[in-house]
């Protein structure tokens, strides 16, 4: 899984060199899909091939017997019908069968025959034998008449084209929730050129352009604020429902909505470099990567190819010895035609179509389909606290100075200055408190993040840090433990201001548990999945939340690398682990887990780390994902059994394995069973559903 994620990250980097495009005008019909062995088929071509082949099939059905059986509505008594059917069948074979023949060529070139090879073998044998039948019946006047397989040829090509069209259509439908993000971008922007403001089209913007964003407008592209301050609603992009304060040097995402302030920004990403385009590319990459079940269908098809070919050759030799050439050839061809994977070809695409439609409607963006197949073996669900189980909407409950040279307001001003430009929930809480107290954040320079610890920066020539109690303990810095214990035991997250190895003050902030979090924990426990809290917060605050939610396993005061190590520890027994997180600090553990779930995801987490993104930032959607994953895997397995089971039973019967007791599979009965199997697979896929 780690390799796949690194590939996706590389894909994101490659996009920076792609030509600029207007995201609002992206044509999703230009998508391609892998038709086997790396052969790509254009969505429009596939759709056109299906409809053309279907139209040509309708008259062919009227004039061609089904496995030798004449239906009441058919017209096959006239000599000219055989020639017309042959012409229509040839067009369908050459035009409609082209993707499968090309796919088979690529599979055989790679020495990995699979679905495309099995389909190509079936349609090629059916076509060649049918042409032979037309010649025998109408030129050589064979007696008895030789049965052709044009009916089977045409319907197989139609069904396979439909299956692949459904699969490709699913690729777009699955991303419908994020496809709409492209519509968030405005059509024009206010570009700043030499102090003048000009209205230009979004498509004309390039990296490093400066644009002005006015109050209430949509942000036209990804960028960094160079002047001004505001609050931004990023809910339609990240899932966070609250306003995020933005100052100079803060990053903004194209498609989010500006608040009351006006600011100027420098563009860092437009078109295919922007966040929205990357999310849409992410959907496409995820859907192009086949899941384990889809690979299983290809492996089954490969085995069926060898099995059908072997049985057909053996049957031909046996019946040639005990019968005649015409009988032996007819039975061998029947075996190869019956082996065609009508139901198997639809088994997985139909389930994927249904599953991804349900996922999109429930706010689930599934990047890696293999993650769904890990759910059945899941024992542990590791999760972050802040922003995942809690709202992440902190409010300063208390702030004080611990140094006589500083007033309490001085501590808050310095902390606010260091936190300016950060969108971390704790930073937002401190900035909001300073604003409420009408305190101006102290001007800070050289501010940088200390991973898993806090921030460091310079104010009036002195270097300060905003850190956690765990950092103070590791550095053996003295602080008031009694005060900390009192605040932490009440569920507060406590940040300390330090300078020159001295603790100068603190700010304690409270958070609220998400209403849906309790149901998540209860549901996990009901499914015998142990919830485990991993948090960088202090142990007392973590225990308060854990006790309210019923979580018994808690690991607190963790650095990002500590979380990743714990993921590996829980993986030690060989069972997959699910990690649920919401921020950059959770990225290493999200990447390490078999199932990484991002809640309220930031740009980096959504693109680089998680397998599943919960668009609505609702932790209860994890329960929906688990149910959908189990139902999807179950339906895929059932369909594979139905699709392959038909072939396993009918191939030996068609070969005459029961001939000694007087039974040889009638081709007409084989066709009925084949059609019934396809119908069962389709109905079974459509019954997939989850509770709202």
Cα separation, 349 vs 609, whole angstroms: 26
3-class secondary-structure state, position 463: strand
Angle made by CA atoms 203, 208, 209, in degrees to the nearest 5: 55
* Residue whose pair of structure tokens reads 């209430």 in the numeric block: 216
Going by C-alpha positions, the residue among 38, 7, 43, 22 that lies closest to residue 172 is: 43
Tokens describing residue 435: 């604003």
211 and 189 in contact (C-beta within 8 Å)? Answer: yes
Burial class (CB in 10 A: 0-12, 13-18, 19+), 136: middle
Catalytic-labelled residue, pool 179, 222, 384, 608: 384
Burial class (CB in 10 A: 0-12, 13-18, 19+), 222: buried
CA distances to 46, 348, 349 from 166, rounded to whole Å, are 10, 10, 7
Quick count: other Cβ atoms within 10 Å of Cβ 78?
Answer: 10
- Sheet (strand 395-401) strand order: 395-401, 502-510, 492-499, 462-467, 454-459, 445-450
CA distances to 38, 115, 119 from 105, rounded to whole Å, are 11, 12, 12
Dmax (CA) for the chain in angstroms is: 113
* Cross-strand partners of 463: 458
229 and 247 in contact (C-beta within 8 Å)? Answer: yes
Tokens describing residue 60: 């062919």
* Cross-strand partners of 514: none
Tokens describing residue 32: 């391609």
Question: Beta-strand (E) ranges in 525-682?
Answer: 530-534, 553-555, 577-581, 595-599, 612-614
Residues 93-124 as b/e (b if ≥16 CB within 10 A, e otherwise) read beebbebbbbbbbbbbeeeebbbbbbbbbbbb
Q: What are residue 145's phi and psi, to 5 degrees? A: -65, 145
604 is catalytic: no
Going by C-alpha positions, the residue among 366, 426, 415 that lies closest to residue 391 is: 426
Cα separation, 518 vs 579, whole angstroms: 17
328 and 316 in contact (C-beta within 8 Å)? Answer: yes
Contacts of 381 (CB under 8 A, 6+ apart): 524, 529, 530, 531, 532, 577, 578, 580, 622
* Cross-strand partners of 580: 383, 597
479 and 472 in contact (C-beta within 8 Å)? Answer: yes
Tokens describing residue 145: 């008449």
Cα separation, 65 vs 443, whole angstroms: 85
CA distances to 151, 154, 545, 667 from 63, rounded to whole Å, are 9, 12, 72, 18
Angle made by CA atoms 87, 92, 98, in degrees to the nearest 5: 130
Residues 146-168 as b/e (b if ≥16 CB within 10 A, e otherwise) read bbbbbbbbbbbbbbbbbbbbbbb
Tokens describing residue 601: 């995801």
| Run of H or E residues at 520 | helix 517-526
How many residues does the structure list for the chain?
Answer: 692
298 in the Ramachandran plot: left (φ > 0), alpha (ψ -120 to 50) or beta? Answer: alpha
Half-sphere exposure of 76 (CA within 13 A, CB side): 24
Q: List, by residue number, the catalytic residues.
A: 384
């Amino acid at each position: 899984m780690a390799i796949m994620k690194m590939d996706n990250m590389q894909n994101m980097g490659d996009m920076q060199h792609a030509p600029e495009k207007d995201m609002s005008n992206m044509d999703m019909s230009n998508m391609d899909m892998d038709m086997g062995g790396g052969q790509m088929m254009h969505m429009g071509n596939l759709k056109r091939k299906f409809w053309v082949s279907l139209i040509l099939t309708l008259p062919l059905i009227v004039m061609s017997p089904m496995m030798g059986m004449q239906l009441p509505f058919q017209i096959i008594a006239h000599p000219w019908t055989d020639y017309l059917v042959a012409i229509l069948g040839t067009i369908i074979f050459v035009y409609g069968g082209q993707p499968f023949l090309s796919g088979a060529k690529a599979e055989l070139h790679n020495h990995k025959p699979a679905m495309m090879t099995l389909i190509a073998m079936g349609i090629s044998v059916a076509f060649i034998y049918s042409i032979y039948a037309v010649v025998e019946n109408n030129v050589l006047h064979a007696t008895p008449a030789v049965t052709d397989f044009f009916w089977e040829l045409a319907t197989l090509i139609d069904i396979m084209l439909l299956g692949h069209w459904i699969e490709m259509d699913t690729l777009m439908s699955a991303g419908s929730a994020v496809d709409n993000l492209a519509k968030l971008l405005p059509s024009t922007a206010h570009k700043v050129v030499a102090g003048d403001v000009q209205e230009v089209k979004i498509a004309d913007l390039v990296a490093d352009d400066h644009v002005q964003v006015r109050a209430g407008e949509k942000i036209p592209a990804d960028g960094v604020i160079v002047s001004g301050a505001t609050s931004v609603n990023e809910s339609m992009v990240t899932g966070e429902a609250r306003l995020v304060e933005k100052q100079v040097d803060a990053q903004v995402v194209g498609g989010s909505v500006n608040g009351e302030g006006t600011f100027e920004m420098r563009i860092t990403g437009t078109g295919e470099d922007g966040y929205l385009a990357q999310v849409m590319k992410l959907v496409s990459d995820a859907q192009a990567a086949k899941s384990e079940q889809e690979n299983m269908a290809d492996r089954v098809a490969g085995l069926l190819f060898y099995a059908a070919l072997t049985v057909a050759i053996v049957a031909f030799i046996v019946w040639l010895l005990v019968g005649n050439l015409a009988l032996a050839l007819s039975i061998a061809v029947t075996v190869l035609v019956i082996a065609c994977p009508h139901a198997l070809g639809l088994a997985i695409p139909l389930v994927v179509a249904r599953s991804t439609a349900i996922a999109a409607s429930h706010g689930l963006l599934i990047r890696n389909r293999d993650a769904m197949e890990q759910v059945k073996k899941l024992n542990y669900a590791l999760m972050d606290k802040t922003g995942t189980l809690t709202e992440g909407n902190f409010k300063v409950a208390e702030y004080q100075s611990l140094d006589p040279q500083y007033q309490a307001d001085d501590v808050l001003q310095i902390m606010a200055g260091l936190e300016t430009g950060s969108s971390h929930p704790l930073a937002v809480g401190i900035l909001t408190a300073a604003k409420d107290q009408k305190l101006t954040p102290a001007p800070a320079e050289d501010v940088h993040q200390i991973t898993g610890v806090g921030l460091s920066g310079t104010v009036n020539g002195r270097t300060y840090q905003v850190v956690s109690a765990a950092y103070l303990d590791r550095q053996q810095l003295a602080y008031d433990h009694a005060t900390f214990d009192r605040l932490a035991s009440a569920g507060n997250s406590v940040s300390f201001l330090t300078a020159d190895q001295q603790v100068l003050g603190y700010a304690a902030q409270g958070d609220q548990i998400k209403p849906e979090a309790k149901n998540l924990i209860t549901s996990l426990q009901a499914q015998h999945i142990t919830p485990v809290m991993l948090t960088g917060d202090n142990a007392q605050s973590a225990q308060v939340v854990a006790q309210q939610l019923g979580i018994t396993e808690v690991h607190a005061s963790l650095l990002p690398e500590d979380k990743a190590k714990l993921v590996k520890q829980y993986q030690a027994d060989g069972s997959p682990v699910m990690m649920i997180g919401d921020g950059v600090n959770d990225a290493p553990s999200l990447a390490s887990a078999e199932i990484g779930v991002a809640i309220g995801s930031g740009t980096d987490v959504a693109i680089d780390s998680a397998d599943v993104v919960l668009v609505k930032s609702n932790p209860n959607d994890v329960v929906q994902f688990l149910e959908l994953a189990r139902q999807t895997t179950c339906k895929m397995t059932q369909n594979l059994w139905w699709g392959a089971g038909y072939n396993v039973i009918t191939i030996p019967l068609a070969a005459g394995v029961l001939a000694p007791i007087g039974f040889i599979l009638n081709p007409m009965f084989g066709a009925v069973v084949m059609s019934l199997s396809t119908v069962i697979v389709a109905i079974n896929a459509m019954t997939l559903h989850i509770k709202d």
